[in-house]
Structure 1
Amino acid sequence: MSIPLIDLAKLTSASDAVRQQEIQSLDTACREIGFFYLVNTGLPNSLMQALMREAKRFFNQPQQVKNAIDIKNSANHRGYGNIGEEQLDEVTHADWKETFDMALDYPADHPLVAKYPTMYGPNQNPRDPQTLEVLQDYYVAAFEVAQKLLTAMAQALSLEDDFFTRCFTDHVTVLRMIHYPPRPEAGHDNGAGAHTDYGCVTLLLQDQTGGLQVKNRQGEWVDATPIENALVVNIGDLMQHWTNDEYVSTAHRVRASLPDVHRYSFPFFVEPDYETQVTCVPSCQSADKPAKYQPVLAGDWIQSRFDATYAYREEKH
């Protein structure tokens, strides 16, 4: 299995022939692999480099500075996560990484915060205004890319263009910075355990270190080798449910960094409004293939996956 390249400029081309051909390639990638590289995204190279720079500065701060915005202090899962806080694979070690999560910033008195306090609310921001500005700029830019991609996916599935994008008014999309420090000993090779993502799609910006691996249909782990300025995109569980398993959410993992090697990556977890009713799309069911999944609120699904992954959230329930 090789991970295909999808060109966002072609997906949004004014030429109907060019656009339709790339939409077909996108559809094939979503059905057969669930992973692809996205090139010509329009994300400025300067912004991607700034995000890398600010991540290094943020994670290089003294531990007590990072702990001041510890994610365990946030009801809605925002802020800094220490090494070992997350265990994506329930069988192996906890993940050897530290993280920072942010999403849309809702004031504590917002009605959605009162209704769904574990998914909406204020961010815990880095104290450096420059870091925060870069994070916010990247969040906005990556969201625009995601909306273009979801429009193309709707077209591939013979749906209305805005079938997915109209579900992103009060969305719970998360931008995460991840630092994988050098692994402590040879036996601990688990940077991020094998898992599938929870939401619609994930747009990943990674540095040139490598380490991301994708599980193919034969059960073999294939390297998702970094490509300069490309995003790695994968289908999430929610999209798999929405499409009745037509679009596949594929397991992936990150091998721990080698001694003296630091790895940085930036997943953008594209997740719709909490109250999005996820029901099998019309083009993915038939008399021969009825809907496999009961309708579910997007937020309820994502919430259940969070609770299974983070010990500190289990303790609060």
Structure 2
Amino acid sequence: MTTLPQISLAKLAADTTRHEERERLRLACEEYGFFYLDHGIPKEQIAEAIQASRRFFALPQATKERFGHSAQDVYPTTARGYTPLYGEALHPEAGPDPKEMFDLGIENEGDRRPFAGCTLVAHAFRMTRWLLVSREACLLCRLSWSTTLCRSSESR
């Protein structure tokens, strides 16, 4: 094979194709360690989300920091929100990371479990599309992987 395999979330979720696609997923992980994910989110929706994220990251630093970890109502707060440039060090021996980011997750209003709850986002800065696409992608992946993992363990 000259390209990475493509795995379809729709096929993983469908009763008629789940077994075959799950086998393709297993082989892709074992043989390549990587694969393309056909998530089904329209390219236009992805482009809108990218534009919304660009609008957010172009805001003044003080504005972005209003949506930082300390403003989040999620435990741990570092699981959601804005992180400034050099604000995180995944490998402390290498020093702070040269990136800024905004962590999102699956929204479960009122859920007090770790990594659950709602993310404070900049709706006023037209980030709604970015958030919706990100949430949709998280939900699709979560549903697909949960279904795949549960059914994989059942077939053993």
Q: Same fold (TM over 0.5)?
A: yes
Alignment counterpart, residue 55 of structure 1, candidates 48, 53, 56: 53
Counterparts of 1:62 and 1:142, CA distance in 2: 28
User: 1:34 Cα shift?
Assistant: 4.0
Name the counterpart of 1:132.
128
Q: Distance in 1 between matches of 2:99 and 2:125?
A: 24
Tell me, which stretches of 5 or more residues in structure 2 are unaligned?
none
Contact 2:7–2:25 (Cα < 8 Å) also in 1: yes
| Deviation string, structure 1 residues 129-166 (Cα, Å, up to 9, x no partner) | 631344134403541343124323433x2427xxxxxx
Match of 1:25 in 2: 24
1:43 matched to which residue of 2? 41
Assess if the C-alpha contact under 8 Å between 1:23 and 1:153 holds in 2.
Answer: no
Q: Is the 8 A contact 2:81 2:119 kept in 1?
A: yes
What TM-score, normalized by structure 2, do the two folds share? 0.74
Aligned equivalents of 1:32 and 1:26: distance in 2? 10
Q: Tell me how far apart the structure 2 counterparts of residues 25 and 43 of structure 1 sit (CA, whole Å).
A: 21
- 5 Å-filtered alignment, 1:220-299, equals 283=156
Cα drift, residue 84 of structure 1: 1.1
Q: SS of 2:154's equivalent?
A: coil
Deviations 1:174-231 (A, max 9, x none): xxxxxxxxxxxxxxxxxxxxxxxxxxxxxxxxxxxxxxxxxxxxxxxxxxxxxxxxxx
Report whether the alignment pairs 1:84 with 2:86: yes
Identical residues among aligned pairs (%): 27
Q: Which moved more, 1:1-10 or 1:88-97?
A: 1-10
Q: Which residue of structure 2 lines up, in the alignment, with residue 96 of structure 1? A: 98
CA contact (8 A) 2:49 2:133 kept: no
AA of the residue aligned to 2:98: W
Residues in 2 aligned to 1:86 and 1:26: alpha-carbon distance in whole angstroms: 32
Candidates 140, 143, 156, aligned match of 1:144: 140
Shift of 1:12: 4.1
Q: What's the secondary structure of 2:120's corresponding residue? A: coil
Query: CA offset at residue 99 of structure 1?
Result: 0.9
Cα pair 1:58 1:131 within 8 Å, conserved: yes
Q: Distance in 1 between matches of 2:141 and 2:118?
A: 24
| Residue in 2 that maps onto 1:11 | 12
Greater relative contact order (Cα < 8 A, sep 6+): 2
Q: Give the C-alpha shift of residue 2 in structure 1.
A: 6.3
Contact (CA 8 Å) 2:52, 2:129: kept in 1 or not? no
Q: Is the 8 A contact 2:13 2:147 kept in 1?
A: no
- How many residues of Structure 1 are paired with residues of Structure 2 in the alignment? 150
RMSD, matched Cα? 3.0
Distance 1:3 1:28 in 2: 11
TM-score, L = length of structure 1 = 0.41
Higher share of residues assigned helix? 2
- Map of 2:154 onto structure 1: 159
Q: Deviations 1:228-252 (Å, cap 9, x if unpaired)? A: xxxxxxxxxxxxxxxxxxxxxxxxx
- Structure 1 residue runs without a partner (length 5+): 161-282, 284-317
- Distance (whole Å) between structure 2 residues aligned to residue 86 and residue 69 of structure 1: 16
Residue equivalent to 1:68: 66
Q: Check 1:153–1:31 CA distance in 2 against 1; reply closer, same or farther (3 A cut).
A: farther
Cα distance, 1:142–1:119 mapped onto 2, change above 3 Å: closer
